[in-house]
Amino acid sequence: MSSSKTQTLADGLFSGADGAPRCRWCEATPAYQHYHDHEWGFPVTDERRLFEKLCLEGFQAGLSWLTILNKRENFRRGFANFEAEAVARFGEADVARLLADAGIVRHRGKIESTINNAKRVLELREEFGSLAAYAWRFEPSPSSRPKKATLAALRAFTTTAESIAMSKDLKKRGWSFVGPTTVYAFMQAMGLVNDHIEGCGAREAALAARKALTPPR
């Protein structure tokens, strides 16, 4: 990457090997860049993916997302591909099995939280029809977002009124490891907000995907 090329990019961006500008946080590995290009910030309504992301954001607490991403397939194998009905049936034998699994983050509290939260997902479905219908109720109004998504503007958003409200509501319903920062990271990843920096090659694609989506209600 030439220095002149670097100087033409906005703060928080880098130019990948393919020349495409990307948010700098994904620079570490090609797998991270693929996640950035094809998943992060793109709107999701799939039940399994929404539940998986809420769980993995809880596991990330105190770690980097890259650490979790590198272990994601192991997590999927260990947690029945994050099918909530299956995880809700896990018992002590499953907790012991997961605590012995070196391929995941072996934290008893987070493992037990995932099982608990699976049961809470089933309750949400009874009330709202789907986890997607529940989660998209908390999508922020476009007027609350920065007029221009610069690195400086987005740094101010580690929580929002909506992530705080969703966190409080989930906790009231018995969920755990769903603090406001964790919930905001979930919103970023699942496309409830688009925090790709202006000039990032994925930003417009994510915006177009959101425009084409009719959120479940």
Task: State whether residue 21 is helix, strand or coil.
Answer: strand
Beta bridge partners of 23: 13
Enumerate the active-site residues.
35, 57, 65
**Lookup: tokens for 117:** 């939260």
In whole angstroms, give the CA distance from residue 118 to residue 129. 15
H or E element that contains 145: none
Task: State whether residue 148 is helix, strand or coil.
Answer: coil
With beta carbons less than 8 A apart as the criterion, state whether 64 and 35 touch. no
